[in-house]
Amino acid sequence: MKIILSTLNSRYTHSAIGLRYLYANMQELQENTQILEFSINDALQSIAEKLLLSQPDIIGLGVYIWNASQIEELIHILKKVSPKTIIVLGGPEVTYLPFRVNFDDADYIIQGEGDLAFYELCTNILADKASAKIISMSIPDLKKIELPYQYYSDSDIQNRYIYVEISRGCPFECEFCLSSMDEKVRAFNLDDVLIEFDKLWQRGARNFKFVDRTFNLNMKAANKILDFFLEKEPPYFAHFEVIPDHFPASLREKIRSFPKGALQLEIGIQTLNLEIANNISRQLKLDKIKENIRFLESETTAHIHLDLIVGLPGESLESFGNNLDKLMQLSSCEIQIGILKKLSGTHINRHDIEHGMVYSDIPPYDILKNNQLSFEDIQVMKRFARFWDLYYNSGNFKNSLALLWERKSVFESFYSFGIWIYEQTDSTWKISLQRQGELLFHYLTQNLHLSPTEVATLMAQDMLKLKGRALPSYLKEHVNNVDVNAKFGSSGFNKRQL
């Protein structure tokens, strides 16, 4: 029996830890099993061709929110070309009902953690004992699961992020999140995991992304993992998703010790409105959150990534704007703005009637409107989020962008700016860095009537912080009118850059 494990990652630099768990637990079938990974940017017929090249008996596909539509089409192609090939689906998108993408052409669907279930299904297919199309799995004992890390290839280690975990599950009950469906947090044997991490390190792995939902929940485990990296020689990169209100002294001390660029912390804020948070069963300890963000901002070199969500039940644009303004007062870190999604299996649907929640049934199932936000409001905020990434999160306009909100709040100022950008471009994509700069300069000088010299001076600082970048022509006449050394110091840009 020939078996292929595959999925479509959201981009090439990502890797699928789930496929490697399945492969690690294939026992005697492992020698006839192969992993083939693709990205959502690859042509589906080419993917089908490669999957069928070795004439596999079974193809297992991981289905996620970012690839569900492509997987549907891929299954259609596979079954048209090779109808006898057995297709098995697993992953978050097929674990909970209702299915909003048509997976009728699949032969089997494993709902739940399939680490052990996929092997069992394959053996049953081999013995002609498989029956039910949909197989609902109980939560497996993590102690019985073989770890996957040796199955990252040398190419993965050199070119991709290595996804790792020390636990599964989440103790919180946030209604928009699939992790809230887990019964409890379960931990792998930490000593065994650290041995595998060290093997990865010895092979050259330096980019570790932890998929644990609450890395700083268990202090003993978190401290051991941080010690693992602090004992290593930089450069390296470790990414953790953390809860914002739990940074005791031992954890703080270790985070302080990380060199710049080595540590990234993703913190799910989502909302700072207590009423809205209670509405979606999300715990907020505002004083602790503010204290910890200030600590991370002022006493560490960690890269901080805060999350806010647009469209939560009952939350107005004004409330969202207040959230953004408060975070900007606390920190200068990256703020990721997301649009609420309705994932099958979550309890967010209980608000549908009361708050008029209307969602798309096409992945990523994002909200279209509710009682607080019209369809137009949501569209404006989607563009707001995109332009916020281009201008703020990119860091390309760190000095000059602050001129936008000298007179009004951050949210109000950028909201107006985003509407204006879209009026000029009719697009949120393929706007070059040169064009972004021109738009910002025009808006600040023409719409806000700021001094061209002041704006050009700050934009020059932004533009020329990277060696080799030339000063754009629209800034030259204004920068040439100022004393360069006075504004930038002797280490400022030179005549060639001008």
pTM of the predicted structure, to 2 decimals: 0.91
Q: Quick check: is 282 in a domain?
A: yes
Q: Band of the pLDDT at 343, cuts 50, 70, 90?
A: very high
pLDDT computed for residue 245 by the predictor:
85
Summarize pLDDT for 382-435 with one digit per residue, the tens: 999 999 999 999 999 999 999 999 999 999 999 999 999 999 999 999 999 999
- The reply to whether 402 and 368 lie within a common domain is no
- The reply to whether 420 and 495 lie within a common domain is yes
CATH number at residue 267: 3.80.30.20
Angle subtended at Cα 433 by Cα 429 and Cα 437, rounded to the nearest 5 degrees: 110
- The reply to whether 190 and 327 lie within a common domain is yes
Residue 100 backbone dihedrals phi, psi, to 5 degrees? -105, 5
Whether the bond into 235 is cis, omega within 30 of 0: yes
What is the rounded CA–CA span in Å between residue 416 and residue 383? 11
Contact of 226 with 254, CB cutoff 8 Å: yes
- The reply to whether 230 and 335 lie within a common domain is yes
**Residue 212: is its pLDDT beyond 70?**
yes
- The reply to whether 233 and 264 lie within a common domain is yes
- The reply to whether 407 and 365 lie within a common domain is no
- The reply to whether 305 and 184 lie within a common domain is yes
Whether the bond into 98 is cis, omega within 30 of 0: yes
- The reply to whether 133 and 172 lie within a common domain is no
Domain end point (choices 373, 404, 439): 373
Summarize pLDDT for 309-331 with one digit per residue, the tens: 999 999 999 999 999 999 999 99
pLDDT computed for residue 489 by the predictor:
43
- The reply to whether 197 and 110 lie within a common domain is no
- The reply to whether 291 and 428 lie within a common domain is no
Q: Quick check: is 200 in a domain?
A: yes
- The reply to whether 158 and 301 lie within a common domain is yes
What is the rounded CA–CA span in Å between residue 22 and residue 7? 12
Number of domains within the chain: 3
Q: Quick check: is 145 in a domain?
A: no
Domain end point (choices 341, 373, 405): 373
What is the rounded CA–CA span in Å between residue 221 and residue 166? 8
CATH number at residue 38: 3.40.50.2300
Look up the domain containing 483 and give its range: 393-498
Summarize pLDDT for 63-86 with one digit per residue, the tens: 999 999 999 999 999 999 999 999
Residue listed under structure tokens 């209702």: 98
Q: SS3 of 226, please?
A: helix
Domain end point (choices 140, 174, 193): 140
- The reply to whether 494 and 359 lie within a common domain is no
* Pair of tokens at residue 390: 């281009």
